[in-house]
Amino acid sequence: MKHRELLKSRASSEPALRAPAGLSRRRFLQMLGVGGLAATFADFLPAVARSSFAENAEPLYFIFCTFEGGWDQLLALDPRDNTQYQDAEGVIYPAYHLQAPNNATFSSLLSSNPSGLLKPTGSNITFGPSVGRLAEGNLYQDLCVIRGLDMGTLTHEVGRRYFLTGKVPRGLQASGSALSTWMAAQGGARTLIPNLVVGMETYNEGLDSAASGLVVQSYSDIQTVLTALGTPLAENVNGAIDAYLQPTGARCEYDLLNGNGQVTQYLSARTRAVNMVEGNLGSLFAFTTTPSTPELQALYEAFHIGGTNAQINAQLAGGAGEAMLAAQAITNDLVQCASIRLAENIDHHDDDYLTTHFASLNTGFNALADLIQYLKGKQHPTTGKSFWEHSVLLVTSDFARTPNLNNRSGRDHHLASSCLVAGKGIRGNQVIGGTDELNFGSRGIDLATGAPLESGGWTVRPSDVHASLLDAVGLPYDHIENQSPQIISALRKG
């Protein structure tokens, strides 16, 4: 009997500590038909874990993107006309003209468009100069920008963890589960890796362990994760070892250790780990300076990865590489949720802001645009719709940066930030909320229309964004009820 089949038959026959739910004949035959594609966790999770998604429900993919370090909204999602805000001592000073000489792309843009603002024809959204390809074509039709988002903190870890979980952290300690973990759990942890996290934190507080984020640092890590290292054991030896690990006979030490279900969790995770390395899935992430297959070559072209070896390696290590990793993982139905960093180390308090910040944001937004376009161009094998039609996206940062320059020509931390929401269930081509002219502070909004108000209204927080996003895709948000989230009904499509 093959090793994987033995695991499954044992999973269905062993009492007490076994992974429940045996393999249905239909599912087994499907797996045989898909060749090397490994089994999914859904075969081994109890029915209670599959809450909102029945076996035949449409797949939902969630992509969480972060610009790590605090992004400047004047360059990105809440810009101002550079020709109108020229006072260096003023409250709001975009200073595009000070940055442009340091970047060829910015310089070219500003010379033909002195305002620095990007507003595609038909778009209700005005973007800042750094958004690059995100402002091209009709991508705007899918995007919803939320401005004047009150982060409530100027501490990196707090802002980051707040937006990860939708709950205000306890001090520096994250509270609750990451949104991607929640989404993976709601989706029944259907895929081989329900929740992939690249280079950032992830949290699971009380949800099924199968939904926990699998954290890798880079594309080479995920190759390592999907490939058994070293010399494999013979099939029969694997089978004998798996039989030994099962809780049969006098295994009182298992009983002692299983008080909080850790042994059960351990054995379930072992089953998933074994399945994860079967099949040649690591080859999907063989991102080298020379793509080895036509499929990988097409992927590189879609994400504009090319040039010298040094340039390619830099691109692979940055936002483009992580976006490409997410695209490959989603379009091969390996993951349900992917959390990636589109930019890192953008906490530019000093004059490196003038030389570096635009480029960092530009690279990240270009990668984001390429990711959306790629998902739009790929058809899901079972539904016939594009992967984008099954995806929902959230783009955030720790917080924003001050609207004026400090005395070192950099920008410090600022409370009123923005975020970007797009995809399934989200009404695109709109801006929700805004910031005032007095001090670039958050303005309250009308929750029904999303319009910013001169006074009063509701100041949007990360909790509200989380709840509204989940509501828009038809998922519950009970886990953040203690944050008293308000639903921004303007966010909802239809």
Taking the C-alpha atoms of residue 83 and residue 95, their distance in angstroms, rounded to an integer, is: 10
209 binds other proteins (CB under 8 A): yes
CB 345 within 8 A of CB 69: yes
CB 111, min distance to other proteins, A: 37
**Taking Cα atoms as reference points, which of 154, 111, 143 lies closest to residue 129?**
111
Pick 66 or 103: Cβ nearer other proteins: 66
Q: Binder to other proteins among 243, 307, 309, 449 (CB under 8 A)?
A: 243
Structure tokens at 12: 């269905």
284 binds other proteins (CB under 8 A): no
Q: Binder to other proteins among 217, 292, 293, 449 (CB under 8 A)?
A: 217
Q: Binder to other proteins among 93, 254, 300, 374 (CB under 8 A)?
A: 254
> Which phi and psi (to 5°) does residue 58 adopt?
-70, 145
CB 68 within 8 A of CB 343: yes
Neighbouring residues of 179: CB distance < 8 A, sequence distance ≥ 6: 62, 64, 164, 165, 166, 394, 466, 469
The binding track of 302-341 with respect to other proteins, each residue x by CB under 8 A or -, is: ----------------------------------------
Other beta carbons less than 10 A from residue 21's beta carbon: 17
Taking the C-alpha atoms of residue 394 and residue 401, their distance in angstroms, rounded to an integer, is: 19
The binding track of 41-70 with respect to other proteins, each residue x by CB under 8 A or -, is: ---------------------------x--
Pick 273 or 298: Cβ nearer other proteins: 273
CB 455, min distance to other proteins, A: 39
Q: Binder to other proteins among 38, 39, 183, 216 (CB under 8 A)?
A: 216
Other beta carbons less than 10 A from residue 459's beta carbon: 18
Pick 88 or 172: Cβ nearer other proteins: 172
Pick 127 or 287: Cβ nearer other proteins: 287
Residue 430 DSSP SS3: strand
Question: Token pair 């719709």 is at which residue?
Answer: 385
CB 278 within 8 A of CB 38: yes
Q: Binder to other proteins among 6, 21, 37, 269 (CB under 8 A)?
A: 269
Pick 9 or 262: Cβ nearer other proteins: 262
| Helix (H) or strand (E) segment spanning residue 335 | strand 335-343
Name residue 401's beta-bridge partners: 413
- Counted residue by residue, the chain has a size of 494
CB 446, min distance to other proteins, A: 37
Name residue 413's beta-bridge partners: 401
User: Which of positions 110-169 make contact with other proteins (CB under 8 A)?
Assistant: 157
CB 235, min distance to other proteins, A: 10
CB 112, min distance to other proteins, A: 38
CB 346 within 8 A of CB 360: yes
Pick 142 or 333: Cβ nearer other proteins: 333
Query: What is the contact surface with other proteins in residues (CB under 8 A)?
Result: 68, 157, 172-174, 193, 199-201, 204, 209-210, 212, 214-217, 221, 224-225, 228-233, 236-237, 240-241, 243-245, 248-254, 257-260, 262-263, 265-267, 269-270, 272-274, 276-277
